[in-house]
A and B are shown apart, each in its own frame.
Chain A
Amino acid sequence: MSLADDKRPDLADAGTEELRQEVVRLRELLDVAEAAIGTLRDRCDDVEDSKAHLTRMAVASARLHESDDEGENLRNLQDLLVNLIGTEKIAIWSLSADGRTFELRASQGIDAEHWQRVPSGDGLLGKAARRGEIVVEQEMRVGQPVACIPLLVGRWVVGMVAVFHLLPHRSGLGPRDEDLFRLLCQQAGFALCCAGDPWGTKRKVDHG
Protein backbone atom coordinates (compact mmCIF):
# COMPACT_ATOMS: atom_id res chain seq x y z
CA MET A 1 0.00 0.00 0.00
CA SER A 2 1.40 3.41 -0.94
CA LEU A 3 1.65 6.44 1.35
CA ALA A 4 -1.05 8.20 -0.71
CA ASP A 5 -3.40 5.24 -0.26
CA ASP A 6 -2.73 5.34 3.49
CA LYS A 7 -3.92 8.92 3.74
CA ARG A 8 -7.09 8.56 1.69
CA PRO A 9 -9.32 7.10 4.47
CA ASP A 10 -8.49 10.00 6.83
CA LEU A 11 -9.15 12.56 4.13
CA ALA A 12 -12.40 10.83 3.26
CA ASP A 13 -13.46 10.75 6.94
CA ALA A 14 -12.65 14.44 7.35
CA GLY A 15 -14.56 15.29 4.18
CA THR A 16 -17.56 13.23 5.30
CA GLU A 17 -17.57 14.85 8.72
CA GLU A 18 -17.37 18.30 7.13
CA LEU A 19 -20.32 17.48 4.88
CA ARG A 20 -22.28 16.04 7.79
CA GLN A 21 -21.78 19.24 9.75
CA GLU A 22 -22.81 21.25 6.69
CA VAL A 23 -26.01 19.18 6.43
CA VAL A 24 -26.75 19.83 10.14
CA ARG A 25 -26.13 23.56 9.66
CA LEU A 26 -28.34 23.70 6.57
CA ARG A 27 -31.10 21.78 8.36
CA GLU A 28 -31.00 24.32 11.18
CA LEU A 29 -31.22 27.15 8.65
CA LEU A 30 -34.15 25.38 6.98
CA ASP A 31 -35.94 25.10 10.35
CA VAL A 32 -35.45 28.84 10.95
CA ALA A 33 -36.67 29.66 7.42
CA GLU A 34 -39.74 27.41 7.80
CA ALA A 35 -40.60 29.01 11.14
CA ALA A 36 -40.28 32.48 9.53
CA ILE A 37 -42.50 31.41 6.61
CA GLY A 38 -45.07 30.09 9.10
CA THR A 39 -45.06 33.39 10.99
CA LEU A 40 -45.40 35.38 7.76
CA ARG A 41 -48.22 33.12 6.59
CA ASP A 42 -50.06 33.69 9.90
CA ARG A 43 -49.55 37.45 9.55
CA CYS A 44 -50.82 37.33 5.94
CA ASP A 45 -53.93 35.47 7.16
CA ASP A 46 -54.45 38.12 9.87
CA VAL A 47 -54.09 40.92 7.31
CA GLU A 48 -56.51 39.18 4.91
CA ASP A 49 -58.96 38.70 7.76
CA SER A 50 -58.72 42.38 8.79
CA LYS A 51 -59.10 43.46 5.17
CA ALA A 52 -62.21 41.30 4.75
CA HIS A 53 -63.66 42.73 7.96
CA LEU A 54 -62.97 46.33 6.90
CA THR A 55 -64.56 45.62 3.51
CA ARG A 56 -67.72 44.37 5.27
CA MET A 57 -67.77 47.48 7.49
CA ALA A 58 -67.31 49.77 4.47
CA VAL A 59 -70.13 48.01 2.63
CA ALA A 60 -72.43 48.36 5.67
CA SER A 61 -71.64 52.04 6.10
CA ALA A 62 -72.18 52.75 2.40
CA ARG A 63 -75.51 50.93 2.33
CA LEU A 64 -76.82 52.60 5.50
CA HIS A 65 -76.46 56.04 3.96
CA GLU A 66 -77.63 55.23 0.45
CA SER A 67 -81.09 56.71 0.74
CA ASP A 68 -83.24 59.26 2.58
CA ASP A 69 -86.35 57.13 2.13
CA GLU A 70 -87.46 55.23 5.24
CA GLY A 71 -88.68 52.12 3.40
CA GLU A 72 -85.48 51.85 1.39
CA ASN A 73 -83.35 52.45 4.47
CA LEU A 74 -85.17 49.70 6.36
CA ARG A 75 -84.79 47.30 3.41
CA ASN A 76 -81.09 48.12 3.19
CA LEU A 77 -80.68 47.52 6.91
CA GLN A 78 -82.36 44.11 6.65
CA ASP A 79 -80.41 43.24 3.52
CA LEU A 80 -77.07 43.92 5.14
CA LEU A 81 -78.03 41.95 8.26
CA VAL A 82 -78.88 38.96 6.06
CA ASN A 83 -75.85 39.25 3.80
CA LEU A 84 -73.14 40.39 6.21
CA ILE A 85 -74.21 38.69 9.46
CA GLY A 86 -76.29 35.77 8.21
CA THR A 87 -79.50 36.55 10.09
CA GLU A 88 -82.74 34.73 9.42
CA LYS A 89 -85.18 36.48 11.77
CA ILE A 90 -84.98 40.19 12.51
CA ALA A 91 -87.10 43.11 13.70
CA ILE A 92 -86.61 46.87 13.54
CA TRP A 93 -88.58 49.21 15.79
CA SER A 94 -88.84 52.98 16.13
CA LEU A 95 -89.55 54.54 19.52
CA SER A 96 -93.09 55.80 20.18
CA ALA A 97 -93.80 59.52 20.71
CA ASP A 98 -93.99 59.07 24.50
CA GLY A 99 -90.80 56.99 24.56
CA ARG A 100 -92.52 54.05 26.28
CA THR A 101 -92.94 51.67 23.40
CA PHE A 102 -90.97 50.31 20.50
CA GLU A 103 -93.17 50.18 17.38
CA LEU A 104 -92.36 47.67 14.68
CA ARG A 105 -91.29 49.24 11.37
CA ALA A 106 -89.90 46.20 9.53
CA SER A 107 -89.38 42.50 10.20
CA GLN A 108 -88.37 39.24 8.62
CA GLY A 109 -89.22 35.70 9.70
CA ILE A 110 -90.93 36.61 13.00
CA ASP A 111 -94.54 36.83 14.21
CA ALA A 112 -94.94 40.53 13.38
CA GLU A 113 -98.24 40.86 15.24
CA HIS A 114 -96.72 39.57 18.47
CA TRP A 115 -93.82 42.02 18.25
CA GLN A 116 -95.82 45.00 16.91
CA ARG A 117 -95.55 47.06 20.11
CA VAL A 118 -93.02 46.27 22.81
CA PRO A 119 -92.58 48.20 26.10
CA SER A 120 -89.27 50.03 25.81
CA GLY A 121 -88.12 48.95 29.29
CA ASP A 122 -88.78 45.22 28.98
CA GLY A 123 -86.38 42.32 28.64
CA LEU A 124 -83.29 42.38 26.49
CA LEU A 125 -84.63 45.30 24.44
CA GLY A 126 -85.09 47.34 27.60
CA LYS A 127 -81.59 46.45 28.78
CA ALA A 128 -80.10 47.60 25.47
CA ALA A 129 -82.22 50.78 25.50
CA ARG A 130 -81.28 51.70 29.08
CA ARG A 131 -77.57 51.16 28.47
CA GLY A 132 -77.55 52.53 24.92
CA GLU A 133 -75.31 49.59 24.07
CA ILE A 134 -75.68 46.39 22.09
CA VAL A 135 -76.61 43.35 24.12
CA VAL A 136 -75.67 39.90 22.82
CA GLU A 137 -76.90 36.64 24.31
CA GLN A 138 -74.48 33.71 24.22
CA GLU A 139 -77.24 31.15 23.63
CA MET A 140 -80.06 31.26 21.12
CA ARG A 141 -83.48 30.81 22.75
CA VAL A 142 -86.57 30.13 20.68
CA GLY A 143 -88.65 33.27 20.18
CA GLN A 144 -86.20 35.53 22.00
CA PRO A 145 -83.64 37.93 20.54
CA VAL A 146 -80.05 36.79 20.42
CA ALA A 147 -78.86 40.37 19.95
CA CYS A 148 -80.41 43.81 20.52
CA ILE A 149 -78.88 46.84 18.85
CA PRO A 150 -80.12 50.24 20.00
CA LEU A 151 -80.22 52.82 17.23
CA LEU A 152 -78.61 55.98 18.54
CA VAL A 153 -78.55 59.60 17.58
CA GLY A 154 -75.84 60.93 19.82
CA ARG A 155 -76.79 59.70 23.29
CA TRP A 156 -80.46 59.27 22.39
CA VAL A 157 -82.03 55.92 21.58
CA VAL A 158 -84.45 56.39 18.67
CA GLY A 159 -85.10 52.76 17.77
CA MET A 160 -84.02 49.16 18.17
CA VAL A 161 -82.92 46.26 16.00
CA ALA A 162 -83.28 42.70 17.29
CA VAL A 163 -81.73 39.62 15.76
CA PHE A 164 -83.79 36.56 16.70
CA HIS A 165 -82.15 33.81 14.73
CA LEU A 166 -79.11 33.16 12.59
CA LEU A 167 -78.92 31.04 9.45
CA PRO A 168 -78.51 27.32 10.28
CA HIS A 169 -74.86 27.19 9.21
CA ARG A 170 -73.94 30.06 11.56
CA SER A 171 -73.22 28.66 15.01
CA GLY A 172 -73.12 31.99 16.84
CA LEU A 173 -72.09 35.63 16.86
CA GLY A 174 -68.43 36.61 17.09
CA PRO A 175 -66.39 39.76 17.75
CA ARG A 176 -66.52 40.73 14.05
CA ASP A 177 -70.32 40.59 14.13
CA GLU A 178 -70.35 42.77 17.24
CA ASP A 179 -68.15 45.33 15.45
CA LEU A 180 -70.75 45.49 12.71
CA PHE A 181 -73.54 45.83 15.31
CA ARG A 182 -71.65 48.77 16.86
CA LEU A 183 -71.52 50.42 13.44
CA LEU A 184 -75.29 49.96 13.05
CA CYS A 185 -75.81 51.27 16.59
CA GLN A 186 -73.90 54.47 15.78
CA GLN A 187 -75.00 55.07 12.18
CA ALA A 188 -78.33 53.43 11.39
CA GLY A 189 -80.27 55.76 13.73
CA PHE A 190 -78.82 58.81 11.98
CA ALA A 191 -79.60 57.36 8.56
CA LEU A 192 -83.22 56.62 9.56
CA CYS A 193 -83.68 60.05 11.19
CA CYS A 194 -82.76 61.60 7.82
CA ALA A 195 -85.86 59.83 6.47
CA GLY A 196 -88.11 61.92 8.77
CA ASP A 197 -91.10 60.71 10.81
CA PRO A 198 -91.35 58.63 12.88
CA TRP A 199 -87.59 58.70 13.28
CA GLY A 200 -86.92 62.41 12.89
CA THR A 201 -89.05 63.69 15.79
CA LYS A 202 -88.07 64.35 19.41
CA ARG A 203 -89.30 60.97 20.65
CA LYS A 204 -86.09 59.76 22.23
CA VAL A 205 -84.99 57.85 25.30
CA ASP A 206 -82.02 59.48 27.01
CA HIS A 207 -79.79 56.64 28.21
CA GLY A 208 -77.11 59.04 29.49
Chain B
Amino acid sequence: MARKKILLVDDSSTARLLARMVLQDSAYEVITARDGVEGIEKAKTEKPDLILLDVMMPNMDGIEACKRLRDEAATAAIPIIMVTTRGEEGIAEASYAYGCNEFVTKPVDPAELLAKVRNCLGEWEGT
Protein backbone atom coordinates (compact mmCIF):
# COMPACT_ATOMS: atom_id res chain seq x y z
CA MET B 1 0.00 0.00 0.00
CA ALA B 2 1.32 3.47 -0.90
CA ARG B 3 2.41 5.62 2.00
CA LYS B 4 0.22 8.63 2.70
CA LYS B 5 1.93 11.90 1.81
CA ILE B 6 1.94 14.81 4.26
CA LEU B 7 2.96 18.35 3.35
CA LEU B 8 4.50 20.20 6.28
CA VAL B 9 4.53 24.01 5.91
CA ASP B 10 6.51 25.79 8.64
CA ASP B 11 9.26 28.42 8.66
CA SER B 12 10.84 26.88 11.76
CA SER B 13 13.52 24.28 11.04
CA THR B 14 12.99 22.86 14.54
CA ALA B 15 9.26 22.37 13.96
CA ARG B 16 9.89 20.79 10.55
CA LEU B 17 12.53 18.41 11.92
CA LEU B 18 10.36 17.36 14.88
CA ALA B 19 7.25 16.74 12.75
CA ARG B 20 9.32 14.97 10.10
CA MET B 21 10.83 12.60 12.68
CA VAL B 22 7.45 11.86 14.26
CA LEU B 23 5.59 11.33 10.98
CA GLN B 24 8.27 9.40 9.10
CA ASP B 25 8.57 7.09 12.08
CA SER B 26 4.87 6.33 11.58
CA ALA B 27 5.44 5.47 7.91
CA TYR B 28 4.17 8.68 6.35
CA GLU B 29 5.97 10.32 3.45
CA VAL B 30 6.82 13.89 4.44
CA ILE B 31 7.49 16.83 2.13
CA THR B 32 8.18 20.33 3.41
CA ALA B 33 7.75 24.00 2.55
CA ARG B 34 8.98 27.10 4.41
CA ASP B 35 6.11 29.54 3.88
CA GLY B 36 2.57 29.82 2.59
CA VAL B 37 3.56 30.63 -1.00
CA GLU B 38 5.84 27.61 -1.32
CA GLY B 39 3.26 25.52 0.53
CA ILE B 40 0.50 26.31 -1.98
CA GLU B 41 2.81 25.50 -4.92
CA LYS B 42 3.80 22.16 -3.40
CA ALA B 43 0.20 21.33 -2.54
CA LYS B 44 -0.74 21.78 -6.22
CA THR B 45 2.16 19.78 -7.61
CA GLU B 46 2.60 17.07 -4.97
CA LYS B 47 -1.10 16.44 -4.18
CA PRO B 48 -0.52 15.51 -0.52
CA ASP B 49 -3.08 13.54 1.50
CA LEU B 50 -2.86 16.07 4.34
CA ILE B 51 -1.31 19.48 5.02
CA LEU B 52 0.18 20.67 8.32
CA LEU B 53 0.14 24.46 8.16
CA ASP B 54 1.88 26.80 10.59
CA VAL B 55 -0.02 30.04 11.28
CA MET B 56 2.83 32.54 11.72
CA MET B 57 5.06 32.51 8.63
CA PRO B 58 6.85 35.05 6.43
CA ASN B 59 5.60 35.92 2.90
CA MET B 60 2.16 34.38 3.44
CA ASP B 61 0.76 33.29 6.80
CA GLY B 62 -1.06 30.03 7.40
CA ILE B 63 -4.56 31.52 7.56
CA GLU B 64 -4.21 33.17 4.14
CA ALA B 65 -2.64 29.99 2.73
CA CYS B 66 -5.53 27.93 4.15
CA LYS B 67 -8.05 30.25 2.48
CA ARG B 68 -6.27 30.01 -0.90
CA LEU B 69 -5.95 26.23 -0.67
CA ARG B 70 -9.69 25.98 -0.11
CA ASP B 71 -10.41 28.31 -3.04
CA GLU B 72 -8.33 26.19 -5.43
CA ALA B 73 -10.20 23.20 -6.89
CA ALA B 74 -7.09 20.99 -6.91
CA THR B 75 -6.44 21.49 -3.19
CA ALA B 76 -9.91 22.28 -1.80
CA ALA B 77 -10.54 18.81 -0.37
CA ILE B 78 -7.14 18.18 1.23
CA PRO B 79 -7.46 18.01 5.04
CA ILE B 80 -5.57 20.81 6.80
CA ILE B 81 -4.25 20.84 10.36
CA MET B 82 -3.21 24.31 11.55
CA VAL B 83 -0.18 24.54 13.84
CA THR B 84 0.55 27.59 15.95
CA THR B 85 2.45 28.82 18.97
CA ARG B 86 -0.72 30.41 20.29
CA GLY B 87 -4.06 28.83 20.95
CA GLU B 88 -6.08 32.01 21.11
CA GLU B 89 -9.70 31.76 20.13
CA GLY B 90 -9.39 34.40 17.41
CA ILE B 91 -6.79 32.45 15.45
CA ALA B 92 -8.60 29.14 15.92
CA GLU B 93 -11.92 30.64 14.82
CA ALA B 94 -10.36 32.29 11.75
CA SER B 95 -8.65 29.03 10.81
CA TYR B 96 -11.84 27.00 11.11
CA ALA B 97 -13.76 29.71 9.21
CA TYR B 98 -11.33 29.32 6.30
CA GLY B 99 -11.76 25.56 6.32
CA CYS B 100 -9.04 23.96 8.45
CA ASN B 101 -10.00 20.57 9.85
CA GLU B 102 -7.96 20.49 13.05
CA PHE B 103 -5.73 22.61 15.25
CA VAL B 104 -2.59 21.86 17.28
CA THR B 105 -0.56 24.25 19.41
CA LYS B 106 3.21 24.46 19.83
CA PRO B 107 5.14 23.02 21.49
CA VAL B 108 3.67 20.14 19.53
CA ASP B 109 2.95 16.99 21.48
CA PRO B 110 3.95 14.14 19.11
CA ALA B 111 1.22 11.81 20.37
CA GLU B 112 -1.45 14.49 19.91
CA LEU B 113 -0.13 15.34 16.45
CA LEU B 114 -0.21 11.69 15.36
CA ALA B 115 -3.72 11.18 16.73
CA LYS B 116 -5.02 14.21 14.84
CA VAL B 117 -3.21 13.23 11.63
CA ARG B 118 -4.71 9.73 11.81
CA ASN B 119 -8.14 11.15 12.53
CA CYS B 120 -7.98 13.55 9.57
CA LEU B 121 -6.79 10.73 7.28
CA GLY B 122 -9.59 8.45 8.46
CA GLU B 123 -7.16 6.06 10.10
CA TRP B 124 -7.60 4.54 13.52
CA GLU B 125 -5.34 2.65 15.85
CA GLY B 126 -5.11 -1.00 14.97
CA THR B 127 -6.14 -0.53 11.36
Alpha-carbon distance between A52 and B114 when the two chains are bound, in angstroms: 11
CA distance A49 to B109 in the complex (A): 9
Chain A residues with Cβ below 8 Å from B25 are: 55
Q: How large is the interface on B (under 10, 10 to 19, 20 to 34, 35 or more residues)?
A: 20 to 34
A83 at the interface (CB under 8 A from B): yes
Q: Is the CB of A52 within 8 A of B86?
A: no
Interface size on A, residues (CB 8 A): 24
The smallest beta-carbon distance between A109 and chain B, in angstroms, is 12
Which of the residues B12, B18, B86, B88 comes within 8 Å of A55, measured between beta carbons? Answer: B18
The segment from A23-31, A56-64, A132-140 found at the interface with B is: A56-64
Asked if residues A76 and B14 are in contact (CB atoms below 8 Å), the reply is yes
Interface membership of chain B positions 81-123, coded 1 if the CB is closer than 8 angstroms to chain A and 0 otherwise: 0000111100000000000000001111111000000000000
Say whether, besides A49-B111, A55-B110, A169-B105, A62 and B85 are in contact (CB < 8 Å). Answer: no
Instruction: Offer 17 A-B interface pairs, CB within 8 angstroms, sorted by A.
Output: A48-B111, A52-B22, A52-B110, A52-B111, A55-B21, A55-B110, A58-B21, A59-B14, A59-B21, A60-B14, A63-B17, A66-B13, A80-B14, A83-B15, A83-B85, A84-B18, A168-B88
Q: Other than the known A83-B18, A86-B106, what 13 A-B pairs have Cβ atoms closer than 8 Å?
A: A48-B110, A48-B111, A49-B111, A55-B18, A55-B25, A56-B110, A59-B14, A82-B85, A83-B12, A86-B107, A168-B88, A169-B105, A170-B107
